[in-house]
Structure 1
Amino acid sequence: MNPKYKYEHQLLPYKIIKSATEGDIDAVYAVLKHYDGYIETLSKRKMYDEFGQEHYCVDETLKRRLQTKLLIKTLNFKIDS
């Protein structure tokens, strides 16, 4: 198995998820960091410069909105013990 593939598809440990749902700041940051690449990919938009050249840029407003939605869903997530 390709080591890069294995690294990219690692799951968050249960302990971090549980701590994040309880509001632990470090755990919430770990969740946001884990999904940062995916959120950044979703936030890319096609832009054109003054010469009509096409560029892909991260829409920071959209990125922040997606991070906020992830944060809200994480804090509202209920874990059955």
Structure 2
Amino acid sequence: MRSKKHREPPEFETIQAAIEGDAEAINQVLSYFQPFINSECKREYKDEFGRVHYVADEYMKRRMETKLITKILDFKIRL
């Protein structure tokens, strides 16, 4: 059984900066979610010998990243 590596989530200040539109902060949040996005964007591909491979669907990956960015920018923090 594979163990999942524990990743620290982005700091609150980083999330606040991302919500305000800071490009570097948005990239940090995206990099945190990158393993999840990669795992969800796999497609089955059969080669000419009939073997099955799983490859990343780049179109789906970019759509998920774009959707995450728009949700980050639309997010409101209630105090």
TM-score by length of 1: 0.87
> How many residues align structurally?
76
Q: SS at the partner of 1:35?
A: helix
Indicate the structure with greater helix content. Answer: 1
Q: For 2:23 and 2:64, how far apart are their aligned partners in 1?
A: 18
Instruction: Tell me whether 1:65 sits opposite 2:54 in the alignment.
Output: no
* Amino acid paired to 1:63: K
Instruction: Tell me whether 1:42 sits opposite 2:57 in the alignment.
Output: no
Q: SS at the partner of 2:10?
A: coil
Gaps of 5+ in 2: none
Instruction: Tell me whether 1:11 sits opposite 2:9 in the alignment.
Output: yes
> % of aligned pairs identical?
41
Cα RMSD between the aligned structures?
A: 1.2
Q: For 1:48 and 1:55, how far apart are their aligned partners in 2?
A: 6
* Amino acid paired to 1:29: N
Q: For 2:30 and 2:9, how far apart are their aligned partners in 1?
A: 13
CA offsets, 1:32-76, max 9 Å, x none?
111111100000111100111000000000000000000000000
